[in-house]
Structure 1
Amino acid sequence: MSRVVGFEISSQDAATQSKFYADVFGWELSEPNWGYYPAKTGPSDKTGIDGGIAQGPEHFPVGVRLQIQVESIEESIAKAIEHGGKVVQDVMDFGDFKLAYIVDSVGVHYGLIENY
């Protein structure tokens, strides 16, 4: 079973939007990595997930995507395609994890993460 492990808010002004969430909800935003501002939304001993805010790409300029951790990103992509999904961002390797973006059979965007 694959779990939702985070979220990503796509924005056309990630720095300003990060400040908004920090000011309104008290989220702790870290310095950006690859244009992605990691967001801690609460203490790790409480229910919830963390995520981040990033510059939205052309295929998803504004919105919220869930990040789903999978055992094998390649197998998950193949299953998604088999069931009517499509890849909107091929697999990217970030050293200790891989990330790809998929659209499901009705057009909902989400990310796939495979940790090493």
Structure 2
Amino acid sequence: MTKLVHFELTSADAEMTAKFYSDILGWTAEPSPFVPDYQLLTGENGATGAVMSDRYQSQPAILWFEVPDIDLALTAIAGNGGKQAGDINTIPGQGRVVYVSDPNGTLFGLKQPQ
């Protein structure tokens, strides 16, 4: 079964926005070691999210789903009217990731763990 594994919020000031959520939710916020202007958020229960610069994506919120095979998921998405919305990237120690969109153009992400 596919599960929700991450969320991203976009902001003109990622650091300030991440601090806001950190302060109100009690989560930690720290800069990504891989992407500039990308702040990682971590909650006590293992929940993860991030705030990134809106120059990367303009949609205010993006949900990420774990899939066992990104290539198979991309085939299913294309077969149902969706699209791949970026290159497949590998995050060291975490796995493969890619942005996609549904037939309405709403972005979401797929993550295939290592």
TM over 0.5: yes
Provide the identity percentage.
24
Q: Is the 8 A contact 2:64 2:108 kept in 1?
A: yes
Q: Name the CA distance, whole Å, in 2 between partners of 1:57 and 1:80.
A: 25
Structure 1 residue ranges (4+ consecutive) displaced by more than 6 angstroms after TM superposition = none
Q: Is the 8 A contact 2:59 2:107 kept in 1?
A: no
- Residues 49-88 of structure 1 mapped to structure 2, 5 A cutoff: 49-58=47-56, 60-88=57-85
After superposition, give the CA deviation of every residue in 1:24-79 in whole Å (9 maximum; x if it has no partner). Answer: 222211232313211113334xxxx3211112345x22411111011111111111
The change in CA–CA distance for 1:57 and 1:101 in structure 2 (over 3 A counts) is farther
- In the alignment, which residue of structure 2 is the partner of 1:38? 40
Q: Is the 8 A contact 1:70 1:112 kept in 2?
A: yes
Structure-1-length-normalised TM-score: 0.84
- Residues 6-17 of structure 1 mapped to structure 2, 5 A cutoff: 6-17=6-17
Structure 2 unaligned regions, length at least 5? none
Structure-2-length-normalised TM-score: 0.85
Q: Is the 8 A contact 1:6 1:68 kept in 2?
A: yes
What's the Cα RMSD here? 1.7
- Number of residues of Structure 1 aligned to a counterpart in Structure 2: 111
Q: Name the CA distance, whole Å, in 1 between partners of 2:91 and 2:45.
A: 26
